[in-house]
Amino acid sequence: MEELIDIEKERQLIQRAYRNLLKTLKSDLTNDDRTQIRLAYELAVDAHSKQRRKSGEPYILHPIEVARICTEEIGLGPTAVICALLHDVVEDTDITLAEINEKFGLRVATIVDGLTKLDGVYDSDNPQAENFKKVLSTLVDDVRVVLIKMADRLHNMRTLGSMPRHKQLKIAAETSVIYAPLAHRLGLYNIKSEFQDLSLKINEPELYNEIIEKLTVTKAERDRYINDFIKPLTYELDEIEVPYRITGRPKSISSIANKIKTKQVPFEEIYDLFAVRIIVDTEEGRKEKLACWQVYSIVTDVYKPIPERLKDWVTTPKSNGYESLHTTVIGIGGKYVEVQIRSERMDEIAERGFAAHWKYKGVSNQQDVYDAWLDSVRELLEDQNGDAIEFLQDFKTNLFNEEVYAYTPKGDMIILPKGATALDFAFSIHTDVGYHCMAIKVENKLVPMSYKLQNGDQISIITNKNQKPNEDWLKMVVTGKARSKIRSALKEDLKKQGLIGKEMLERKLENMKIDFDESVDTLVKFYGFQNRLDLYYAITINQVDLLLIKQLKVDNKKLILPEPEHVTDFNIPVSPKNNLAISKAGLLIGGDPAEKYQYSLANCCNPVQGDDIFAYVSMGGMKIHRNNCPNAANLMSSYSHRILKAEWENKTNNNFVTELMISGIDDGPGVIERLTTTISSNLGLNIRSFNIKGEGGYFEGKISLMVLNTDQLQVVIRTLKALKNVSNVTRMEG
Ligand code: MN
């Protein structure tokens, strides 16, 4: 009986979730949409009926919630809802793509297929670059695949609590490396900051909780300040008779955490904890811009602006569609306050990104921003020349970076990723201009080809038809387009020169009565080249000793490679058992005592007993890193198959190296002496090294010492912080 009640309860829970979802959909749904959504819902309920999530709740609540995020938080329509409801059925249940195609049509089936493939990405141990490629290929097929995937990932991140720790870390790492930047690029700012916040919560729970707590404690004070700040503005704004609303809200937890870490300041010293936003409700089009500048004028009449901090994305939107006017002013008590000014339409784009942008397509001057971006994604994917690592690099510089704007002599604007060079500019104008680029002038002054573009530069290219690319050019460009054009030009060149080598080889083999076609690939391997072209070229320039061919066996006019020595994939180096030389470490790796392995503590992050850690297996052996090591996210997402779980078993008497950054007021020898006596005499710890430099009454020092564990480390930090004239003590992140 009890079980029956539970089933009934769950049924109600599921129906409530579904009704909630329907509420988020616009009322302008057609009857057909409604029926299809209902059909998808029923199919998913049925297909997932026997599954549960790790948390124990019925599985179907997950797809329903993903669908809700799609409509409510990303602004997608009925097709996306249907796909979201079905996104896990092919992967996890007996339903096939063919059935989905039959019931919901090809569009839905294609999207669900894309989502299923992306699921593989998440579980597999593929190199990161391959994962990126997969995500991006689906992106260019139908952006909705990636948007629904974002919603899926968001819900998984929100409910990550019931997963085992090592899975949490991997998912968090992948989220911050792939999905957060992608969300940013698609203008989904809210989702991006939530991704970053949730990743921080998993990687550095202490810091995360500390910030949450302090934000709560200081809320009343902050609200009061915001109110006082806003009041004089509202008097003036009421005059202009454009409806508006003002909000003041704290910045994201991860951005506050970043400030604490990069600027090495405590929470209390971060001034711009929040931003004030003024949103005007005006007719779409020209009036929006006018209203924004009118508000800007009022704000800067009331408060003194810092001119360098003015950012005008109203005149020139960001290439992810973001439009807004940002200014920083000096508020009450000399505090810096960032004020963001935008229209309701701009705000919707800022909040919902891509989907909202589509809705307004044609309203403003920016209809092509995503098209242009998707084109550049396509271009990058089609470039077959580069290797995976380079692809990743291109991906990061070309697709995620902010832009720089430069102009041709005629005044045409060219948008390139920040960091792009004058040579990139040449290639973006036309491939031939790039190929034959001789010299480059910025504002009529000659600059090197590797000159980094600045916003507003006017650039002219001088060409010469005898000029052609060389290897060095590859180092002078950052855009995927320029790189792939240069590379294919070099390849052409190689091919031409290789012809000579090819003929030499043909003659040689003919003399030896060996069949060319049957043997050439054997020779490529024998000499250790990647492909035939490289071999031919090396022969042309005399880098290959053709006499060595005689060492090979010949069978039926065919060259045979000697049996290769057995090459093994690298193994985890295991030391002989009963090796007593290694002391008991109190460390478990992959559940086994660490003594089983040859390992060392990574000196990029210097883990100490008590830190959250993981083990990373590389060619050089096994290294223990801290979870918040700056290298960790990259290692975990790219090489997850090389990661082993590591944990401290118990406290030991081992000493660990740790490094502290100390800063404060330089009062002569006093402060250094206070520091060293406190550490060595009062705390009784060994100092390994101490570097200090002072300037203008301020000092900064790096101290390396030995501690037993994180508890002791905390005591050290607290004690040193309390010393006179010491203003900050932090542990080095790496
Ligand atoms: Mn899912």
What is residue 82's predicted lDDT score, i.e. its pLDDT? Answer: 95
What is residue 619's predicted lDDT score, i.e. its pLDDT? Answer: 62
Q: Is there a contact between 364 and 349 (Cβ–Cβ < 8 Å)?
A: no
CA 644 to ligand 1 center in whole angstroms: 25
Task: Tell me whether the CATH fold assigned to 2-158 matches the one assigned to 209-359.
Answer: no
CA 134 to ligand 1 center in whole angstroms: 17
CA 236 to ligand 1 center in whole angstroms: 49
* Residue 133 exposure: Cα atoms within 13 Å on the Cβ side: 17
The CATH code belonging to domain 2-158 is: 1.10.3210.10
CA 163 to ligand 1 center in whole angstroms: 14
Q: Give catalytic residue positions.
A: 91-92
CA 78 to ligand 1 center in whole angstroms: 18
Place of tokens 């390994």: 688
What is residue 666's predicted lDDT score, i.e. its pLDDT? Answer: 76
What is residue 129's predicted lDDT score, i.e. its pLDDT? Answer: 61
Which run of H or E residues covers position 459?
Answer: strand 457-463
CA 86 to ligand 1 center in whole angstroms: 9
Q: Is the pTM of this model over 0.85?
A: no
Q: Is there a contact between 85 and 47 (Cβ–Cβ < 8 Å)?
A: no
What is residue 569's predicted lDDT score, i.e. its pLDDT? Answer: 37
CA 108 to ligand 1 center in whole angstroms: 16
Rg (CA), the chain: 31
CA 371 to ligand 1 center in whole angstroms: 28
- In this structure, are strands 599-601 and 621-626 parallel, antiparallel, or unpaired? parallel
Triad 658, 663, 667: Cα angle to 5°: 130
CATH architecture of 209-359: 2-Layer Sandwich (3.30)
CA 509 to ligand 1 center in whole angstroms: 58
Place of tokens 């602006």: 305
Amino acid identity, position 120:
G
CA 87 to ligand 1 center in whole angstroms: 6
Burial of 382 (0-12, 13-18, 19+ CB in 10 A): exposed
- For 94, residues 6+ apart whose C-beta sits below 8 A from its C-beta are 47
CA 88 to ligand 1 center in whole angstroms: 6
> Helices (DSSP H) in 246-362: which residue ranges?
253-262, 286-302, 344-352, 354-359
587: left (phi over 0), alpha (psi -120 to 50) or beta: beta
CA 325 to ligand 1 center in whole angstroms: 37
Q: Is there a contact between 489 and 435 (Cβ–Cβ < 8 Å)?
A: yes
Q: Which fold has domain 656-731?
A: Alpha-Beta Plaits (3.30.70)
CA 18 to ligand 1 center in whole angstroms: 16
Collapsing DSSP states into helix, strand and coil, what is residue 590?
A: coil
CA 391 to ligand 1 center in whole angstroms: 28
Residues, CB-to-ion distance under 5 Å, ligand 1: 88, 152
Residues of the chain short of pLDDT 70, as ranges, are 1-5, 27, 119-132, 354-374, 376, 380-401, 562-585, 618-621, 637-641, 668-669, 696, 734
To 10 degrees, the CA torsion angle through 234, 239, 241, 244? -10
CA 179 to ligand 1 center in whole angstroms: 15
CA 370 to ligand 1 center in whole angstroms: 26
What is residue 83's predicted lDDT score, i.e. its pLDDT? Answer: 95
User: CA-to-CA distance for 592 and 453, rounded, in angstroms?
Assistant: 54
DSSP bridge pairs for 275:
249, 338
Domain boundaries, the chain: 2-158, 209-359, 580-648, 656-731
* Helix 480-511 with 369-382: angle, nearest 10 deg: 20
250: its two tokens = 């704290």
